[in-house]
Amino acid sequence: MKLHAHAHRGLPRRIFAFALFLALIGPRAWARSPLVDEVNAFSSRYHERLASIDTVRDELRRVARNGADSADLIAFSMVCFIWGDIRATTIQQKLEAYDEGRQAAKRAVEMDPRDPAAHFWYGTNTARWGQTRGVVASLFLLPLVRQEIQTVLELDPRFTPVYGLAGNLLYEVPPLMGGDVRKAEEMFREGLKQDSHFTGLRIGLAKTLIKTGRIAEARNELQAVLDEKNPRIMGEWVMKDTKEARQLLQGLDSN
């Protein structure tokens, strides 16, 4: 499942919505620090405990500066990303959060180059950091992000979040620059085959169906998002996925 290494005009925002998928990552051997358990405790329902993200981030930052292992660094990278997305109030705060997250994940990759979570968070934070900086930075960093996606796929093809990341990238990139909506659809379907409750993947699949003219199928996928009784990431479903599903359905109704 090689990804084309072509550049494009910028990194689309939606491809990073999948970065909050910690329910699959949680069972990994992240047990040395109780802070890692704290991160896993609120990761899927972060919308209910927003303030706790601030505290855990500060504590993990101290750990990261004083002999952290790769598990601590991965947890810190993830929290930095969430904090930048939903807690930061200025562009500068976002840039600092994503940069902290990518540097922490890079250290984790150096410690354990075969850990897919380390590569995932390195690519995710780097991509968001570049996107926030602007188009030029996005273009410059895109090859690195693509490589991190490919590395995750090679290390662990059952690391479900990466299919959302890869699928949205393939969906957004123009065809002449490596984009392929059919391959994007394949990525989304593979992820959903692994976890049918991953509503962010279903949103991505619906978009590919809309783009390829299969409107009735797209409606079914979007309605399935709204009807989901057990979303894998409740916070993501509440704050993002249901809103986007309604917006897309409204757009279809207006056409």
> What CATH number belongs to 8-159?
1.25.40.10
Going from N- to C-terminal start, the domains of the chain cover 8-159, 184-255
With cut-offs at 50, 70 and 90, classify the pLDDT of residue 254. Answer: confident
Tens of pLDDT, residues 173-208: 778 777 899 999 999 999 999 999 999 999 999 999
d(CA 224, CA 129) in angstroms, rounded, equals 32
- Over the stretch 68-112, which tens digit does the pLDDT of each residue have? 899 999 999 998 998 998 889 999 999 999 999 999 999 999 999
pLDDT reported for residue 131: 79
Equal fold, 8-159 vs 184-255: yes
| Long-range contacts at 84-90 (CB < 8 A, ≥ 24 apart) | 84/128, 84/132, 85/16, 85/128, 86/46, 86/50, 86/53, 86/239, 87/50, 87/53, 87/54
Q: Which residues contact 253 (CB under 8 A, 6 or more apart)?
A: none
- How many other CB atoms are there within 10 angstroms of residue 113's CB atom? 12
How far is Cα 243 from Cα 217, in angstroms, rounded to an integer?
A: 19
pLDDT at 9 over 60: no
- Domain 184-255 class, CATH top level: mainly alpha
Per-residue three-class SS string for 129-189: HHHHHCHHHHHHHHHHHHHHHHHHHHHCCCCCHHHHHHHHHHHHCCHHHCCCHHHHHHHHH
> For the whole model, what pTM was predicted?
0.81
Q: What is the pLDDT of residue 19?
A: 43
What pLDDT sits at residue 40? 66
Mean pLDDT of 234-243: 87
